[in-house]
Amino acid sequence: MPKPPHRYNEQAQLLILNVLAFFEMEKNQVKNGIPIDCNNIMERASNALKVGRSTLERIKRRGIQTDKDYLNNITIKQRENKTKISDFMKNKIRDIIYVMFAKNEYVTMTNLRRQIFENLNGFFTCSISSLTKWCHSIGFKWKKSNNRKYLMELPDVQFKRMQFLREYIKNHESPQPFTPVFIDETWIFSKGSFRSTWQDDTLGTNSKKTNEGL
């Protein structure tokens, strides 16, 4: 039973074609009576592969390096350079997250990456791990949402809060103040709970859940 053909990546195929072209050239040189310097092995190999001589010498000296070895040898600085983006892109990511919250969309790395891709017409792509690092760098954290801040900043809630404070001060300064009775915040806390999402503790990332009764 014949063996299945081995698959070579594009770079390996290019090297094979370069070697074939080099030997074709040498064949024509011999036909035309041009001598070939067979002693200069590194120079010929460099010309055949179209690879720099220093690269060949380095590979010859260290031997075959696997992809895993290569990844282990990448320095921390090189890894950081690979995930660097401009301040413009960081601000763009922040704006997209705020827009997603304004539309009451669930902000996850997968959803955010899709929004970035669509927003920039496919001209910017990134991995989930890189996007996670960028979100951390601009102050976002993955944590449970609580729309209590949003509820407390609603205009009618602000008005009632100010009205209460005025009445409270007026009662406190009166000759015969009564003792106010405070109800608990069970309702607002139950309405404030939400699933985990990416947020930066600003009003732009407050969950806007239905506020029945307000």
Beta bridge partners of 142: 198
pLDDT value of residue 156: 73
pLDDT value of residue 53: 86
Calpha distance 58→38 (Å, rounded) = 21
The pair of three-digit structure tokens given for residue 132, joined into one six-digit string: 């996670």
Calpha distance 31→25 (Å, rounded) = 10
Residue 77 CB coordination number (10 Å): 8
pLDDT value of residue 80: 57
pLDDT value of residue 211: 42
Q: What is the 3-state secondary structure (H, E, C) of 111-177?
A: HHHHHHHHHCCCCCCCCHHHHHHHHHHCCCEEEEEECHHHHHCCHHHHHHHHHHHHHHHHHHHCCCC
User: Measuring CA to CA, how many Å separate 43 from each of 14, 74, 77?
Assistant: 19, 29, 34
pLDDT value of residue 213: 38
Chunked mean pLDDT (size 10), the chain, 214 residues: 68 84 88 84 86 86 75 59 76 90 86 88 81 89 69 69 84 84 58 67 62 39
Calpha distance 106→199 (Å, rounded) = 11
pLDDT value of residue 203: 66
Contact, 139 vs 202, CB < 8 A?
no
